[in-house]
A and B are shown apart, each in its own frame.
Chain A
Amino acid sequence: KAGVTQTPRYLIKTRGQQVTLSCSPISGHRSVSWYQQTPGQGLQFLFEYFSETQRNKGNFPGRFSGRQFSNSRSEMNVSTLELGDSALYLCASSWTPGLAANEQFFGPGTRLTVL
């Protein structure tokens, strides 16, 4: 069974631009969550989607948004990019919703660099 896939793997953007990242979960998984990892802050939770609905959201500004499609694939969008948005963005999938007590299967990540 294929793992979680993320595209693109690397991305370079300039300040003020917007970016869309994609995540395809493991087949049959309906829950997708997104995370940001930076050297300073470590891993931080962005949001969680299940059945096309956002269930939970971390403490990030409104420039960060996401959605989930009927096939469980998910996208996240960052508008008006800032230098501080440079990070590794990871998505993870699981069978059921609930970050607290469900094993998460992580994708390889998208490394975003904002110049």
Chain B
Amino acid sequence: KNEVEQSPQNLTAQEGEFITINCSYSVGISALHWLQQHPGGGIVSLFMLSSGKKKHGRLIATINIQEKHSSLHITASHPRDSAVYICAVGVPDKIIFGKGTRLHILP
């Protein structure tokens, strides 16, 4: 079993829909990262969180440390949100990545 599991693996939605991507992990962590990767490879760090909830524009990230679960929400989704979203957990000596969720927003 992978230490970091993301669901769904693939998601196609219509523009304007509310999107939720989930991440579950099985190890003790110092922080959890949400990353965005567009075609071509560049990765952007969206959030780093160790408790509670963070919001940036239309993006919201939450984490439940007791449940070992995090969610990334996108409100009013737009075609430019189409990308791969990757959850990563920081443990003391390394960072472990999920396999990513490929999101496609249709206009």
Binding site for B on A (CB under 8 A): 33, 37, 42-45, 56, 58, 88, 90, 92, 98-106, 108-109, 111
Are A106 and B43 within 8 A (Cβ)?
A: yes
CB pairs A–B below 8 angstroms (29 shown): A33-B95, A42-B98, A42-B99, A42-B100, A43-B86, A43-B88, A45-B95, A45-B97, A56-B93, A58-B94, A88-B41, A90-B41, A98-B30, A100-B90, A101-B31, A101-B50, A101-B90, A103-B45, A103-B48, A104-B33, A104-B45, A105-B45, A106-B35, A106-B43, A106-B44, A108-B40, A108-B42, A109-B41, A109-B42
Are A90 and B43 within 8 A (Cβ)?
A: yes
Main secondary structure of the interface of A (DSSP, over half): strand
New contact pairs (16) apart from A42-B99, A92-B43, A101-B90, CB-CB < 8 Å: A42-B86, A42-B98, A43-B86, A43-B88, A45-B95, A45-B96, A58-B94, A88-B41, A90-B41, A100-B90, A100-B91, A101-B30, A101-B31, A104-B45, A104-B95, A106-B35
- Residue pairs across A and B with CB atoms within 8 Å: the count is 59
Binding site for A on B (CB under 8 A): 29-31, 33, 35, 40-45, 48, 50, 86, 88, 90-100
User: Which 9 pairs of residues, A with B, have the shortest CB-CB distance?
Assistant: A100-B90, A100-B30, A43-B97, A106-B43, A101-B31, A99-B95, A109-B41, A101-B30, A56-B93
Residues of B within 8 A of A56 (CB): 93-94
